[in-house]
Amino acid sequence: MEKTDPKVLERAQRWLDDDYDQETKMRVREMIENEPVELTDSFYRDLEFGTGGLRGLMGVGTNRMNKYTVGMATQGLANYLLECFSEEEQLSVAIAFDSRNNSPFFADVAAEIMSANGIKVFLFDKLRPIPLLSYAVRHFGCQAGIVVTASHNPKEYNGYKVFWEDGGQVVPPHDKNIIREVQKIRQLDQIRFGRVEELIEILDEEFDRLYIDTLKTYSLLPAGTASRKSLKIVFSPIHGSGVFLVPNALKAFGFQQVFNVPGQDVVSGDFPTVQSPNPEEASAMKMALDRGRQVGADLVMATDPDGDRVGVAVEGPEGDYVLLNGNQTAAIMIYYILEQWKARKQFTGNEYLVKTIVTTEVLAEMARHYGVECYDVLTGFKYIGELIGKLEGEKTFIAGGEESYGYLVGDYIRDKDAIISCCIVAEATAWAMEQGKSVYDLLAEIYSRFGFYHEKLLSVTRKGKAGLEEIQALMTRYRENTPEAIMRVPVIRVHDYARGETRNMVSGKTSALDFPTSNVLQFILEDGTIITMRPSGTEPKIKFYVGVRGTLKDASGYRAVREQLDKLADEYLRAMEPA
């Protein structure tokens, strides 16, 4: 039998000696006696509390999601809140959870510890999407929020996301400060267990109605539009938290023909019908597409388990469904919104959009056309939420989005919202139908008016420490020896987000980048191509994003131009991919 590291055994022994529950101790003994590999993986380190919270495999041990690691994280967060808001008479947090196994239990553990620390808790009675948590934080004036979720990770995982008082995910300096407080919790007796029932308020469907009423204020489709009644929509929550709210919201927006996918309405952390509950993957959309064909749906949508991202499929030119990527869905939503704002004469010259630096540039082109400002932020919707907060009271936020299927319309929350996204995509589809068009036709219209932008992503993973060093060396090489051309196309500008500067390759001059520091390089080429290199901070992995641009004269040439741009994007990716 494989010999176990003495340090691992020492860490495991502490769980046997301290006041852990008997079931936990039995499992630790079982691993010590029979499962040395599992024991090592479970105890060789502490489960890392990162800048967004926890995420890991569920089980017993310091490197697993369980009652005690969740307890340490919650106690650390509680300590930080009590320090930050010491002048507040009564602190409060909102807590939500998704469909994952043990999510209700972990949420209850967090509620117990927060209440034991004298902090009032608004706890949802059953699974809810992330946007509803953000809404609750803002509605009740909470100092923080917690969502128990691991997004679209495999079923063996769970996680814990932390939100700040603005309703957005924590950003600097609070993220690092919370981490420090969590790291101070080393012993079980530092965690305050002991539920204070009078400090825990349960939120039910009545709160859902408040949220949906808020969403309805962002509806832009005229009330009498016939397509509201005739549009056929298929929706799947993929076993997750959108199961109640999305259909209810669509119906509140006036869409009467909303069809479910019965097998995927089953709330289950095992996600029994999919390999991965990720609407970015075609396989996760299969059952919804089959249901769409069965009922003759005009629109098919599916949300991820925590209800903040949405995948969309629409009718293609040859009758079957076409899956939209995140950039295309963002373009359709925002084009519809801008056209409606223009028709209603709502523009004052003080409006803006937000996108991430790797999201399609067609959004910026649209913004220029309509006289709307478009801001870029680093990858991660928390930066979109942070900017909305900074500009609150000065400018009017219209919408924002990222290529990874997350969007927000309006500033009622500070995170991406798949529920309002479903409603606005449905409105855009109905609006197109009123004009005798399909959503696919709208895409062609967008690309012919503002330029045909096409994006692709390549993710490269290496192994272990050597792989991490290889990727770091690759970034250093491109940073220190910037190519003058890529595929013989001159590089005209380089954005170095680690150094916080932009270099003009023609003049040689540099200027400051007003962004948080991030290990990202972005190359702007003479032909309009944008190539971005973004390594993972913790894994031997790097992503290459390529955005190319072409011209579409009319809808009939859509397929040919797309194929041409797809080939060009592939060539750029091959040129960048490490050997």
Q: How does pLDDT run across 88-121, given as a tens digit for each residue?
A: 999 999 999 999 999 999 999 999 999 999 999 9
Q: 123-127, 276-280, 463-467, 530-534: which has the minimum mean pLDDT?
A: 463-467
Q: Say if 484 falls within a structural domain.
A: yes
Examine the domain organization and report whether 161 and 238 are in the same domain. no
Q: Say if 529 falls within a structural domain.
A: yes
CA 227 to chain centre: 31
Extract the tokens encoding 93: 């947090």
The residue segments making up the domain with residue 125 are 45-209
Q: 20-34, 36-50, 129-143, 419-433: which has the minimum mean pLDDT?
A: 36-50
| Model confidence at 1: pLDDT above 60 | no
- Cα separation of 494 and 485, whole Å? 11
Q: Say if 175 falls within a structural domain.
A: yes
pLDDT digits (tens, 9 = 90+) for 534-566: 998 777 899 999 999 999 998 889 999 999 999
Examine the domain organization and report whether 113 and 168 are in the same domain. yes
Give the mean pLDDT of 264-285. Answer: 95
- Cα separation of 219 and 204, whole Å? 24
Examine the domain organization and report whether 252 and 369 are in the same domain. yes
Other beta carbons within 10 Å of 26: 11
Domain boundary among 441, 464, 495: 441
- Cα separation of 109 and 123, whole Å? 11
CA 201 to chain centre: 28
Q: Say if 117 falls within a structural domain.
A: yes
What H or E segment, with its residue span, contains residue 488? none
- Cα separation of 141 and 202, whole Å? 16
| Model confidence at 226: pLDDT above 90 | no
Looking at residue 115, what is its pLDDT?
98
Domain boundary among 396, 420, 441: 441
Burial readout 384-398 (b: 16 or more C-beta within 10 A, e: otherwise) = bbbbbbebeeebbbb
Contact 353, 375 (CB under 8 A): yes
103 is catalytic: no
The H-assigned helical ranges of 153-241 are 174-183, 205-216, 227-230
Examine the domain organization and report whether 428 and 503 are in the same domain. no
Examine the domain organization and report whether 281 and 182 are in the same domain. no
Amino acid in position 451: G
Nearest to 81 by CA among 146, 162, 143: 143
Burial readout 507-545 (b: 16 or more C-beta within 10 A, e: otherwise) = eeeeeebeeeebbbbbbbbeeebbbbbbbeeeebbbbbb
Please, which pLDDT band fits residue 2 given cuts at 50, 70 and 90? low
Residues 6+ apart with CB under 8 A from 134: 145, 163, 167, 168, 413, 414, 415, 417
% of the chain with per-residue pLDDT over 90: 90
Amino acid in position 552: L
- Cα separation of 8 and 19, whole Å? 19
- Cα separation of 514 and 506, whole Å? 21
Residue 549 has φ and ψ, to the nearest 5°, of -135, 140
- Cα separation of 39 and 28, whole Å? 8
| Tally of domains in the chain | 3
Q: Is 435 helix (H, G, I), strand (E, B) or coil?
A: coil
- Cα separation of 326 and 414, whole Å? 19
Extract the tokens encoding 502: 């932009």
Please, which pLDDT band fits residue 319 given cuts at 50, 70 and 90? confident
Extract the tokens encoding 392: 């609150």
- Cα separation of 363 and 350, whole Å? 17
For helices 439-450 and 326-343, what crossing angle results, to 10°?
A: 80
Q: Say if 186 falls within a structural domain.
A: yes
Could you report how far apart the first and last alpha carbons of the chain are, in Å?
39
Contact 439, 336 (CB under 8 A): no
Examine the domain organization and report whether 500 and 569 are in the same domain. yes
The residues with which 377 forms a beta bridge, in sequence order, are 356
% of the chain with per-residue pLDDT over 70: 99
Q: Say if 382 falls within a structural domain.
A: yes
pLDDT digits (tens, 9 = 90+) for 130-170: 999 999 999 999 999 999 999 888 899 999 999 999 999 99
Q: Say if 30 falls within a structural domain.
A: no
- Cα separation of 455 and 570, whole Å? 10
Residues 6+ apart with CB under 8 A from 290: none
Residues 319/323/326/331 CA torsion (nearest 10 deg): 0
Please, which pLDDT band fits residue 308 given cuts at 50, 70 and 90? very high
Burial readout 66-75 (b: 16 or more C-beta within 10 A, e: otherwise) = bbbbbbbbbb
Domain boundary among 154, 176, 209: 209
CATH number at residue 526: 3.30.310
Mean pLDDT of the chain: 95
Identify the sign of the CA torsion 22, 28, 29, 31: positive
The angle formed by the CA atoms of residues 159, 161 and 167, to the nearest 5 degrees, is 160
Looking at residue 157, what is its pLDDT?
94
- Cα separation of 575 and 378, whole Å? 24
The catalytic position among 42, 134, 151, 404 is 151
Question: Strand (E) positions, 403-451?
Answer: 406-409
Examine the domain organization and report whether 198 and 301 are in the same domain. no
Examine the domain organization and report whether 366 and 237 are in the same domain. yes
Identify the sign of the CA torsion 262, 267, 270, 271: positive
| Model confidence at 463: pLDDT above 90 | no
Q: Is the peptide bond before 173 cis (omega within 30 degrees of 0)?
A: yes
Please, which pLDDT band fits residue 578 given cuts at 50, 70 and 90? confident
Extract the tokens encoding 402: 């990222």
Other beta carbons within 10 Å of 335: 23
Looking at residue 214, what is its pLDDT?
98
Examine the domain organization and report whether 176 and 276 are in the same domain. no
Q: Say if 448 falls within a structural domain.
A: no
CATH number at residue 383: 3.40.120.10
- Cα separation of 354 and 25, whole Å? 50
Examine the domain organization and report whether 162 and 247 are in the same domain. no
Examine the domain organization and report whether 353 and 458 are in the same domain. no
Examine the domain organization and report whether 178 and 251 are in the same domain. no
